[in-house]
Each structure stands twice: as structure tokens, then as C-alpha cells.
Amino acid sequence: MGGFNCNSVFDYLDFDIIKNNPKIICGYSDPTSLINIIYAKTGLVTFHGPNFKSLCDEETDYGYKEVVKRFFGRDLNLRKTRR
């Protein structure tokens, strides 16, 4: 969608549907204006933060496995050190 053009979809969003069917909405950079208008129009909490792909380097097997483990294995202890 791109940050520059993200505001072009605002007229097409149904904020009542979004408000009545809350989902986790998280993004950074490009969707900043989108998460801001969703918050402004619905009052829903949105998050300015990384997406799944940016949390790991798909070229690195370790990084991918750690993200999968934490999201799907429920291991959210980020203070563990790799040994």
C-alpha cells in the first residue's frame, strides 16, 4: 500500500465494521497513517511496531525458528540468551 498512498483508501474503510470486529492492527512506517485513523475513528488500540517478517531474517534459520517458537510455541521469554 505504501505510506504515501495509504490515505487514499480511507474513504473506502467502514470504521463501524472495524470497530465491531476488533483485530490486532500493528505496523510501522507505511501504515502509520492507517493505524492512526483507525484509532481516531474507532478508539481501538493499535500498535506501532514491527511486522512478523521484520522480526527475523528469513535467510537465517535460527532467527526464523526463534520467531516461530515464540509466536506459536508460546515462549515469549525474550531474556533468554542463546548458548
Q: Both 11 and 25 in a single domain?
A: yes
Q: Both 4 and 38 in a single domain?
A: yes
Q: Both 10 and 28 in a single domain?
A: yes
> The domain containing residue 62 runs over which residues?
55-83
Q: Both 28 and 4 in a single domain?
A: yes
Q: Both 3 and 35 in a single domain?
A: yes
**Three-class SS state of 27:** strand
Give the per-residue pLDDT at 69.
Answer: 76
Q: Both 5 and 45 in a single domain?
A: yes
Q: Both 4 and 39 in a single domain?
A: yes
Cβ atoms < 10 Å from Cβ of 38: 22
Q: What are 16-73's pLDDT values in tens digits?
A: 999 999 988 877 777 888 888 999 999 998 888 776 666 666 667 777 777 777 777 6
Q: Both 6 and 38 in a single domain?
A: yes
In degrees and rounded to multiples of 5, residue 82 shows phi and psi of -80, 130
Distance CA 12, CA 14 (A): 7
Distance CA 50, CA 21 (A): 22
